[in-house]
Amino acid sequence: MKQLPRVLYLLAMNETKIQVAQVTRHGAPNVMEYKETTLDAPQSNELQVEIYYSGINFADILGRMGLYPTAPKPPYVPGFEISGKVIGIGDDSLSHWLGKSIMGLSRFNGYASATNISVDQVFEIDKSFLMHGAAIPVNYLTAYFMMITQCNLQKDEWVLIHGIGGGVGIAAIQIAQKLGAKIIGTASKGKHDRLKELGIEHLIDYRTEDFQSRSLDITDGKGVQVILDPLGGKALKKSYDSLSEFGRLVAYGFSQAAPGSTKNWLKILPEYLGMPKFDPMKLMMQNKGVFGFHLGMLKKRQDLVQETSQKLIDWLGDGTISPMVDTVFPLKDIQMAHQYIADRKNFGKVLLSSNK
Ligand SMILES: NC(=O)c1ccc[n+]([C@@H]2O[C@H](COP(=O)([O-])OP(=O)(O)OC[C@H]3O[C@@H](n4cnc5c(N)ncnc54)[C@H](OP(=O)(O)O)[C@@H]3O)[C@@H](O)[C@H]2O)c1
């Protein structure tokens, strides 16, 4: 693309009209509103991106319900990950980005037709991966950091992946298969057939079966080496009790706090109070380890985010990973998209597209 002087970009980009889907107040999917607004020119370290696809994450659902502590107060535009084309720059030194296809970590404001995003959160991708790119950053960085960086999951070790039919779950399957680990997954019954097609033999319907006793049966009573737990609450204790010696547990969510589509303190409190407190002496006596993971709280290891994102882009290119996109909703149908996830209809990733 031909390079324009910065002043022309700023003139051209001032008062850019964009469409967004915002949380107007905490509540059910019908609190989401699609509207037109304006976008400022990018700051000096930012790129302006025309968004092709935005990934919906479970954290967005929790945020809408008022259960995500680091979300802004409504009204705000959610959205942690995007893909699209760079259409503007905040500084001449970024001119080589113009016209590039990218995926990026947006830290809110991703449910939009365009946004400004810090250049260190943006990764160039081939334009053929524009759709899959929006399904990579959150799910795959999360699965990679937990399984590889934290737990050092090894070939032939058992890994228990809760919510295995969701976005992080399917990312975790593909990375565990790459490592040669043995997989156990929990998912609603309706997802089991499709999971079997992905090669997952050991599936637990957590609504009707006890995942702890099933995991112990499957591992001949030894327990599981690595467990990824987005459930939190009382279930986290059961996960801990399902670990083998040298087992590693990662706590990375609290989906037990959100059994419905609105906040319900009567359901949240017992789960919160039932969450285990881990005692170092007990960990020592049992030869087990517990990690916590929160992608949004990673502040000082952007080097690892950069390095891992590049590795994931390489894996996308060579077919090691391939996000499963369940549905693409037009941005204007945001309420339907959130309801679809609340109804647990998605298998893999749900995306928004402002071009549909
Ligand atoms: N700490 C971090 O940095 C981080 C990053 C990404 C995600 N997470 C957490 O990881 C979990 C999975 O995220 P995701 O984006 O992969 O979610 P997703 O694609 O929506 O999948 C979540 C899965 O969890 C199950 N589930 C449990 N409770 C649910 C509920 N109340 N409503 C709908 N589905 C529910 C569903 O499986 P079944 O139908 O089989 O029950 C669903 O397939 C969430 O708890 C999220 O907060 C944490």
Q: Tell me the per-residue pLDDT of 40-92, one tens digit each, with 9 for 90 and over.
A: 999 999 999 999 999 999 999 999 999 888 999 999 999 999 999 999 999 99
Q: Which amino acid is at 350?
A: V
pLDDT band with cut points at 50, 70 and 90 for residue 5: very low
Residue 248 located in a structural domain: yes
111 and 15 part of one domain? yes
Average pLDDT over residues 302-306: 95
- Does the pLDDT of residue 6 top 50, yes or no? no
Q: Say how many C-beta atoms besides its own lie within 10 A of residue 78's C-beta.
A: 29
Does 147 lie in the same domain as 66? Answer: no
Distance between CA 200 and CA 125 in Å, rounded?
30
What is the sign of the dihedral through the CA atoms of 42, 104, 66 and 146? negative
Instruction: Please give the distance, rounded to the nearest whole angstrom, from the Cα atom of residue 166 to the centre of ligand 1.
Output: 6
Q: What is the pLDDT of residues 194-215, one digit of tens each?
A: 999 999 999 999 999 999 999 9
Tokens of 335: 């309420």
> Looking at the structure, do residues 242 and 205 belong to the same domain, yes or no?
yes
Q: Phi and psi at residue 18, in whole multiples of 5°?
A: -135, 165
Determine, yes or no, domain membership for 315.
Answer: no
User: pTM to 2 decimals?
Assistant: 0.93
User: What is the total count of domains within the chain?
Assistant: 2
Domain that holds residue 192: 139-297
Is 247 part of any domain? yes
Please state, in angstroms and rounded to a whole number, the distance separating the CA atoms of residues 95 and 1: 9
* pLDDT surpasses 60 at 294: yes
Q: Is the confidence at residue 182, as pLDDT, over 50?
A: yes
> How do residues 84-113 score in pLDDT, each as one tens digit?
999 999 999 999 999 999 999 998 999 999
* Residue 346 is assigned to a structural domain of this protein: yes
What's the pLDDT score for residue 9? 52
- Shared domain for 177 and 100, answered yes or no, is no
Q: Which atom of ligand 1 is nearest to the CA of 57?
A: 15
In this structure, are 16 and 102 located in the same domain? yes
294 lines ligand 1 (CB under 6 A): yes
b/e sequence 195-232, b meaning 16+ C-beta within 10 Å: beebebebbbebeeeebbebbbebbeeebbbbbbbbbb
CB 168 within 8 A of CB 323: no
**Residue 318 domain-assigned (yes or no):** no
Atom of ligand 1 nearest to the CA of 258: 31
Nearest C-alpha to atom 30 of ligand 1 is from which residue? Answer: 259
Whether residue 246 lies inside any domain: the answer is yes
Report the candidate in 90, 133, 58 with the shortest Cα–Cα distance to residue 296: 58
Domain identity same for 41 and 67 = yes
Residues 16, 122, single domain; the answer is yes
Identify whether residues 284 and 155 lie together within a single domain. Answer: yes
What average pLDDT does the chain have? Answer: 93
**Do residues 123 and 147 share a domain?**
no
